[in-house]
Amino acid sequence: MANRDSLTELNATIKHADSYQEYKEACQEHDELSGAEEWKAKDACKEYDYRLIRKRVQRIKLARSRGDALGLMSILHEGIHGNLGNIANSAIKNHSKIGTKYLIQEFIDQVCESLDFIYHADESEIDFYEKLSFFDETAHAFGKSCLMLSGGAGLGFFHGGVVKSLTEHDLLPDVVSGASAGSIIASLIATRTNEELKEALEPQNIYEKFSNWRIWQGFGRNSLMDSTNLENALIELFDLMTFEEAFHKTGRHVTVTVSPSDLHQYSRLLNAKTSPNAIITQAVRASCAIPLVFSPVQLKAKQADGKIVPYIPNRRFADGSLMADMPFKQLARLYGVNHSIVSQTNPLAVPFLSRDKTDTRGMTALTWRHLSNIAKLNSIYAFDVLEGVTSHKGAKLGLHKLRSIIDQQYVGDINILPKRGFASLKHIFANPSLRSIEKLIASAERATWPQIDRIKRDTQISKTFSKYLKLLKAREQRVLTQHNGLRLVGSTKSA
């Protein structure tokens, strides 16, 4: 009885913790008391292939004990990936409040220590370019994580708390996308260093910029709301910075999604790769252009001489969440991501989403998943039929947008969501108060805490790959620069 009362008290502490440290300590104490620590210590578990992982750990340890860097490269080359033996199975998380099987954590730690060993290996055994090739190829094969920030109008300030928490724990991915309201926070990530980002995400600073983002201007115009204040806030935040300039400043691959305002066009992902000279301010303004609420926008670009010109002339773009709220497939193609962290505030999606991708093997879960897929396919078919028989251009465009909303995937591998209920919905089209922003960001940080340990574990190997690959490429660049400089000096002397 006393044990049960203690667990109840710990659950209350976990729910109402004022800091991540308090939350973490309560979770650890809960695991000790509930027996979860004993579960973690036992390798065997039906949710993952513990024999495979145990064997891999033994092989890695043996190679390291022999100082065999080439052997380690071979072991890691064999097919290491983020879900080897199903170690990323979300069902494993259900057995404890924090942490995972000790064997799984040992495997991850051994891989990271092996990467450290290979990087520092004597170059008489493994030369520089062998190391560079190994890290480049294996990192690409392993993949990386991305953060996707959804639409959600005023509720989108929730993303600020998520990003703040990830930044404080050094877990912010280098690949980020933002749609609609999410594009504002994504662009702050693109254009700010970590310290600048933390400052920009302070509730007072957000309030000063967006306290009056919604100005009603009534019917009979090209939009229900005047976008002047929103545009001024975006100009103040991002000025005329392009995606390429932002990448050179922070090294982050940040994408803003926009949707076409006419038929026969597809959503566009604007970033340093696809549209380096596009101006971020206009991209964000377009992505925030909720149909009827704000007018669509023509994108702008900066030429080499600094002149501002139209980007994709004769086209206007609108709300990015309509067609590409979660552009995972496109990000996978552009940046090699295979793991996603989603901050989801889209009011069309949040009420129906689970916090995690779950293993739906039970009969009831399988049935519901099957029925929902049938409903989705039937809805898409119905909209295709209606669009085909509709001749009115505006109605056809509206049907096309509705179809794209239904056809999207709104979840990732890890999902961070605001609390369900009307209390969250009130933020959507309201001008915020300082208090409401403080509460929204605090609730987002609290919603992120249960995922911190898992994100750290899921990204530990890819972050280690990234760390050493950056060091090797920087060294290669220095060697090439030095070599070209010597060659230039030699040419001058010859002349």
Round to whole Å and give the CA distance between 337 and 271.
15
Enter the tokens of residue 115: 């990467």
* Residue 407 annotated to the active site: no
Give 363: exposed, middle or buried? Use CB within 10 Å, 0-12, 13-18, 19+: exposed
Question: For 430, phi and psi rounded to 5 degrees?
Answer: -95, 145
User: What is the DSSP-derived secondary structure letter of residue 388?
Assistant: H
Find the catalytic residue in 145, 180, 183, 462: 180
Tokens of 202: 């302070």
Distance CA 284, CA 286 (A): 5
Residue 249, C-beta contacts closer than 8 angstroms, at least 6 positions apart: 191, 193
Distance CA 180, CA 259 (A): 10
Instruction: Find the helix or strand (DSSP H, E) in which 148 lies.
Output: strand 144-149
Other beta carbons less than 10 A from residue 50's beta carbon: 20
Catalytic entry in 319, 325, 356, 413: 319
Please list, residue by residue across 127-151, b when 16 or more beta carbons sit within 10 angstroms of its beta carbon and e when fewer do: eeebbbebbeebbeebbbbbbbbbb
Structure tokens at 456: 């750290």
Instruction: Decide if 466 is catalytic.
Output: no
DSSP readout, 86-129? Answer: GTT-HHHHTT-SS---HHHHHHHHHHHHHHHHHHTS-TTTS-HH
Mind telling me the catalytic residues?
A: 180, 319
